[in-house]
Structure 1
């Protein structure tokens, strides 16, 4: 990472994962505006883009840059290698560095692109980059107890069910229990490494 910008490009067979840039506005907008109605209770479905003009998106990209440079959240857009369509987003948020190297994973594929394996492909590649490039050792996903599609995705990439955390997240005006799925490097066939010193700053 440089002092002024952060970048990471991950290429898979069908996807490119990278930070979103202001020039992505049209494909980003098309991805969100092309969503289908809500498919299940954990799908956001159609969303309002009334406030999402080009300046708003530019500000969003700049905010993501600042968050990455401060080692808070690394947000990547998911793009089709063939068509450059915006398929969704994935992020890794630092919980604690130093001797922990611990992060939490978030992911979302626009529902018009479901059932094509994009989520599995994106999540697996992001986990590998999280270990090999960002220096994490433990990456978690917090999933609602009855969110079967997300559970299936986590398991499909080698994440392991670890526990249920009670009252873990405030959703719909109540504290909700969540399943915790965890990936360590060996779960993806990688070798465990000691903490990377230049990423283990005073982030607690």
Structure 2
């Protein structure tokens, strides 16, 4: 049951966070936080990113693309913002893997590394799962995690996701086919 809408706007809040689609007015905040990232802390942290191509026009097109992906139920991309001052902390996204008898999606997440170790990731992902089950109407959400990304699988476990299996040669990255740990959560758990 894909969502059929002209625009997509789900806003959800926790004690400290607002989770919502990016708006065109977020550009300066979004860019500033990407430019403020620390150097890479480990293999799965991009660290500093060259943002020179990310003009305001580019960002506005990105916001429009996110809306199109949500309206067509291909993907749902949410910014994570600190409520007290509106700071962009990171992103959470869902990709639709199958609908019909499955209602199955995949979650991705990151918090800018300058905001790590403050509990924002756990708070954001926990609320994002609420969005996935209650607003996007998924039944099953999976996280596909590199076998050596302990920060990510610890986060998945901390929000109640369960390890299911290791998929061998599952995704092409780092120059080859890599294994992924599969964590999942169902809406009825």
TM-score by shorter chain over 0.5: yes
Match of 2:101 in 1: 99
Match of 2:132 in 1: 130
Q: What is the DSSP-based 3-state SS (H/G/I as helix, E as strand, rest coil) of the residue aligned with 1:105?
A: strand
Distance in 1, matches of 2:187 and 2:104, equals: 12
1:159 maps onto 2:168 in alignment: no
Distance in 2, matches of 1:177 and 1:106, equals: 16
Query: In the TM superposition, what is the alpha-carbon distance from 1:178 to its structure 2 partner?
Result: 0.3
Match among 19, 42, 46 for residue 44 of structure 2: 42
Report runs of 4+ in structure 1 exceeding 2 Å deviation. 1-4
Query: In the TM superposition, what is the alpha-carbon distance from 1:185 to its structure 2 partner?
Result: 2.1
Structure 1 residues without counterparts, runs of 5 or longer:
188-204
Match of 2:92 in 1: 90
1:147 maps onto 2:149 in alignment: yes
Distance in 1, matches of 2:95 and 2:131, equals: 13
Distance in 2, matches of 1:31 and 1:2, equals: 32
Q: What is the DSSP-based 3-state SS (H/G/I as helix, E as strand, rest coil) of the residue aligned with 1:79?
A: strand
Query: In the TM superposition, what is the alpha-carbon distance from 1:146 to its structure 2 partner?
Result: 1.0
Per-residue CA deviation, residues 175-194 of structure 1 (Å, 9 max, x unaligned), is 0000000011244xxxxxxx
Query: In the TM superposition, what is the alpha-carbon distance from 1:129 to its structure 2 partner?
Result: 1.1
Q: How does 1:1-204 map to 2 (within 5 A)?
A: 3-187=5-189
Aligned length in residues: 187
Q: What is the DSSP-based 3-state SS (H/G/I as helix, E as strand, rest coil) of the residue aligned with 2:93?
A: strand
The answer to whether the 8 Å contact 2:22/2:79 transfers is yes
TM-score by length of 2: 0.97
Query: In the TM superposition, what is the alpha-carbon distance from 1:166 to its structure 2 partner?
Result: 0.7
Distance in 1, matches of 2:4 and 2:138, equals: 19
Structure 2 residues without counterparts, runs of 5 or longer:
none
The answer to whether the 8 Å contact 2:139/2:188 transfers is no
Q: What is the DSSP-based 3-state SS (H/G/I as helix, E as strand, rest coil) of the residue aligned with 2:67?
A: helix
Distance in 2, matches of 1:121 and 1:21, equals: 21
